[in-house]
């Protein structure tokens, strides 16, 4: 019986075209992911080469003044890109995965954006997460909206009903076939991804896979519930597409608009203005005052007194430091706002399966806002480390050629936050159980004629 049903399902022209279409676009998404991965890798390799050349060249030009040299040279910090990132590019295309900073004021450099074509950003990537989130449900709907209703409309249902001992079991079998074919398709694409993109099969990948399966099951559960209402095909199609529209476009877009308006960030602009003024005004102020503030921040440098010259690097970097110190309030506020945005969206997403899946996939791929915030934090630490390393050398005017410049390699930040099965699976599991439960009740209540 199952084999026959499967043959019947797969023989239909629409089914074949649908599955083939999804398979092809799935592979295209892997290609796009691969291109993204290569671009990231290239940038990282380039960053390493560039940094080496850049430091060597500048160290040769400015061999007498280490203070002047450090005015120019940049150091790079890389946000580690996992291979799985090519399946869910997330925010990694908007935010740069490499930060280049000099030891001057940080706040003016921290938020430098990546070069981007805004048209690409607007339309979004066709990465695997897009295929999974947008297109799989469409095919699931196309495959399931007319279960029973079509047979009823064409008059064959009576024959099925009289010949099958348990019509409910028959419906389950119809679903079973469809679920099986789509999960096979999903597995095929992800297997190809593992080979093609060299994704390690570890816990992250398993959560990724599990989440994808649960997401597909969610849409089948939705279809199961709608089919259980036993309306006609047109009604089912319209209602399922409306649900799709809601979950994929209207609700996420509405929530996004809400969150952006709820947590506005004028701090971003205020921050840059404050930082600029706090540094520049020091040129025209009493030098000792600037230095006293600097000593307050770093008591360990108290033993470097203000040189009796019009210009000194000690004073210069103290001024730069004040740019950061005096805009610290705004910087903190901006960070808090962004944290709030992230928390709010994660909280709301738990109740919207599509949104939850997207955010979780990005979290696993380390391409979400949380990762970006951690990277910004790490940039601050990296910058501070460089400052503390070089400040004494500048204040002593240490000879440039005595520094081991080749030791300053590009550093990498690895986001070690764990992915949790519970957090990823629970909301989807609950939704699935709920929908299947209600659907089952509907079928039990009403005889399927």
Among 107, 324, 326, 368, binds another protein (CB under 8 A): 368
Least Å from the CB of residue 345 to another protein: 4
Query: Other C-beta atoms within 10 Å of 203: how many?
Result: 13
Tokens (6 digits) for 435: 């929908």
CA–CA gap between residue 250 and residue 389 (Å, rounded): 51
- Of 79 and 372, the one with the shorter C-beta distance to another protein is 372
Tokens (6 digits) for 437: 């439960």
Q: Does 311 bind another protein (CB under 8 A)?
A: yes
Least Å from the CB of residue 165 to another protein: 30
Site size with another protein, rule: CB under 8 A = 93
DSSP, collapsed to helix, strand or coil, labels residue 164 as coil
Which of 367, 378, 409, 417 minimizes the C-alpha distance to 83? 367
Q: Does 234 bind another protein (CB under 8 A)?
A: yes
Packing angle of the helix pair 167-196, 13-61 (nearest 10 deg): 30
Among 1, 4, 122, 447, binds another protein (CB under 8 A): 122
Among 162, 163, 166, 261, binds another protein (CB under 8 A): 261
Among 55, 139, 213, 248, binds another protein (CB under 8 A): 248
User: Please, where are the H alpha helices in 197-266?
Assistant: 203-228, 233-245, 251-262
Least Å from the CB of residue 237 to another protein: 6
Q: Which stretch binds another protein (CB under 8 A): 35-43, 199-207, 386-394, 396-404?
A: 35-43
Alpha carbons within 13 A on the beta-carbon side of 2: 9
Q: Does 308 bind another protein (CB under 8 A)?
A: yes
6, burial (CB in 10 Å: exposed 0-12, middle 13-18, buried 19+): middle
Q: Does 17 bind another protein (CB under 8 A)?
A: no
Q: Which stretch binds another protein (CB under 8 A): 186-194, 265-273, 383-391, 432-440?
A: 265-273
Q: Does 329 bind another protein (CB under 8 A)?
A: no
Among 12, 277, 420, 444, binds another protein (CB under 8 A): 277
Q: What torsion do the CA atoms of 219, 220, 224, 226 make, to the nearest 10 degrees?
A: 30
Q: Does 107 bind another protein (CB under 8 A)?
A: no
Q: Does 300 bind another protein (CB under 8 A)?
A: no
Least Å from the CB of residue 141 to another protein: 9
Q: Which stretch binds another protein (CB under 8 A): 209-217, 303-311, 385-393, 435-443?
A: 303-311
Task: Report the site for another protein in 331-350 (rule: CB under 8 A).
Answer: 338, 341-342, 345-346, 349
Which of 27, 118, 213 minimizes the C-alpha distance to 205? 213
CA–CA gap between residue 150 and residue 329 (Å, rounded): 64
Among 2, 10, 94, 169, binds another protein (CB under 8 A): 94
- Of 43 and 432, the one with the shorter C-beta distance to another protein is 43
- Of 178 and 370, the one with the shorter C-beta distance to another protein is 370
Q: Does 95 bind another protein (CB under 8 A)?
A: yes
Q: Does 250 bind another protein (CB under 8 A)?
A: yes
Tokens (6 digits) for 396: 């002593």
Query: Other C-beta atoms within 10 Å of 298: how many?
Result: 14
Going from the C-alpha of 212 to that of each of 81, 134, 175, the distances in angstroms are 21, 12, 18
CA–CA gap between residue 401 and residue 68 (Å, rounded): 14
Among 10, 17, 20, 245, binds another protein (CB under 8 A): 245
Tokens (6 digits) for 398: 């240490």
CA–CA gap between residue 79 and residue 360 (Å, rounded): 19
- Of 20 and 180, the one with the shorter C-beta distance to another protein is 20
Among 8, 257, 296, 414, binds another protein (CB under 8 A): 257
Order across the sheet with 98-101: list the strands: 98-101, 75-79, 411-413
């Amino acid at each position: 019986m199952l084999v026959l049903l499967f043959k019947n399902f797969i023989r239909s022209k629409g089914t074949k075209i649908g599955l083939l279409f999804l398979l092809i676009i799935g592979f295209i998404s892997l290609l796009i992911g691969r291109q993204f991965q290569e671009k990231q890798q290239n940038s990282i390799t380039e960053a390493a080469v560039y940094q080496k050349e850049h430091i060597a060249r500048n160290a040769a030009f400015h061999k007498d003044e280490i203070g002047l040299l450090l005015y120019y040279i940049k150091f790079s910090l890389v946000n580690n890109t996992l291979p799985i990132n090519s399946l869910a590019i997330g925010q990694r295309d908007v935010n740069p995965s490499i930060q280049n900073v000099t030891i001057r004021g940080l706040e003016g450099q921290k938020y430098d954006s990546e070069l981007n074509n805004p048209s690409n950003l607007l339309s979004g990537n066709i990465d695997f997460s897009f295929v999974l989130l947008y297109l799989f449900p469409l095919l699931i709907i196309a495959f399931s909206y007319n279960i029973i209703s079509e047979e009823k409309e064409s008059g064959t249902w009576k024959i099925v009903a009289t010949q099958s001992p348990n019509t409910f079991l028959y419906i389950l079998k119809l679903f079973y076939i469809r679920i099986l074919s789509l999960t096979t398709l999903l597995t095929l694409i992800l297997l190809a991804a593992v080979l093609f993109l060299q994704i390690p099969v570890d816990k992250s990948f398993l959560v990724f896979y599990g989440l994808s399966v649960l997401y597909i099951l969610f849409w089948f559960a939705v279809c199961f519930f709608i089919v259980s209402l036993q309306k006609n095909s047109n009604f089912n199609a319209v209602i399922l597409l409306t649900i799709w529209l809601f979950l994929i476009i209207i609700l996420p877009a509405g929530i996004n608009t809400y969150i952006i308006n709820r947590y506005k960030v004028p701090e971003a602009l205020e921050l840059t203005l404050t930082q600029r003024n706090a540094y520049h005004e020091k040129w025209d102020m009493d030098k000792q005052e600037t230095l006293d503030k600097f000593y307050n921040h770093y008591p360990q440098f108290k033993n470097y007194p203000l040189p009796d010259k019009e210009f000194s690097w000690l004073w210069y970097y103290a001024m730069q430091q004040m740019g950061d110190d005096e805009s610290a309030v705004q910087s903190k506020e901006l960070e808090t706002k962004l944290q709030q945005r992230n928390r709010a969206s994660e909280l709301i997403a738990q109740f919207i399966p599509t949104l939850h899946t997207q955010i979780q996939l990005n979290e696993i791929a380390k391409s979400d806002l949380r990762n970006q915030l951690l990277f910004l934090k790490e940039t601050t630490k990296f910058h501070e480390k460089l400052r503390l390393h070089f400040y004494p050398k500048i204040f002593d005017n240490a000879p440039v050629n005595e520094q081991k410049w080749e030791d300053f390699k590009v550093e990498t930040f690895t986001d070690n936050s764990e992915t949790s099965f519970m957090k990823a699976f629970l909301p989807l599991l609950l939704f699935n159980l709920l929908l299947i439960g209600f659907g089952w009740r509907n079928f039990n209540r009403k005889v399927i004629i």
